[in-house]
Amino acid sequence: MRKLVYYIAVTLDGFIAAPDGTYDSFVMEGDHLEAIKTELPETLPVHVRAAFGLDAPPARFDTLVMGRETLQPALDVGIASPYPHLRQYVLSRTLAPSDDPTLTVVNEDPIGLVRSLKAEESELDIWICGGGNLAGQLLPEIDELFLKVNPVVFGRGIGLFSSGIGPDPFPAQLFEHLESRQFDSGVRFTRFIRPEPGRE
C-alpha cells in the first residue's frame, strides 16, 4: 500500500506560514532548491516548473491532497490548477466544483478519501500539500513527515498541525527519525516515519 506523506516547508518554531498565510521569509534559492528540482520536480507548481523549463515526470508522488487555504493563493492569481501534472484533491465544504479535469473538490471525510487513495494500485505516494488543519485531521493516516526546515523563526502563524476537530488537541503520536540532510542554503530536509505496529 502506498504512503501518505506530509511534505512541507516549516520554520524552526513549527510554522508553515505567517498569520496571514504568506511564507515570503522562507529560503527560496540555493542548493536545496536544486535538490527539489532533481528529486521531487512534481512538487513545484506549474508556474515555477515553467520558469525553470521543467517537464520531468513525477518521481515520488502522483496524487496530492490539500485544503482550501492552500489552493487559494493560486486562485487569487488566476491559476485554477497549480499542479496539473498530478491528480489534485481539494478538501473544502465551501469551494464550488472545479471545471478543471486535474482538480477535484471533495467535501467528504478526508480520512475516507485518503484510505481509498492508499488502496489504489500505484508505485507512487500521496502528498499532503497543506495546510495544518487538514494535516491535523489526517494525522492518523500520515506515514511520513518530510520537513523542509527553514532557518527562520516566525514567532506566530499557521502551525504544522492543528486538530481541526473541536477544541481538544489530538493525542501525541510518535514518529521515528529516518534521515536528515543539511544544505548550504541553511535549509534542512528531515524525514520521520510512523513506527511499525508494536514498535511505538
Closest CA to 17 of 133, 156, 129, 146: 156
Distance, C-alpha 75 to centroid of its chain: 17
Contact 40, 180 (CB under 8 A): no
Tell me how many domains the chain contains. 1
Task: Decide if pLDDT at 198 tops 80.
Answer: no
Does residue 111 sit within a domain? yes
Query: What is the structure's pLDDT at 3?
Result: 98
What is the tens place of the pLDDT at every residue in 162-185? Answer: 865 545 567 788 999 999 999 999
In a domain, 161, yes or no: yes
In a domain, 101, yes or no: yes
Does 31 fall in a domain?
A: yes
**Any residues with CB less than 8 A from the CB of 13 and at least 6 apart, and which?**
153, 154, 155
Q: Is residue 104 helix, strand or coil?
A: strand
Among 121, 44, 141, 133, which Cα is nearest to 91's? Answer: 133
- So what's the pLDDT on residue 177? 98
pLDDT in tens, 113-127: 999 999 999 999 999
Residue 172 falls inside a structural domain: yes
Domain encompassing residue 119: 4-193
> pLDDT value at position 162?
80
Q: What is the CATH number of the domain that holds 53?
A: 3.40.430.10
Classify residue 199: in a domain, yes or no.
no
**Residue 90 pLDDT more than 90?**
yes
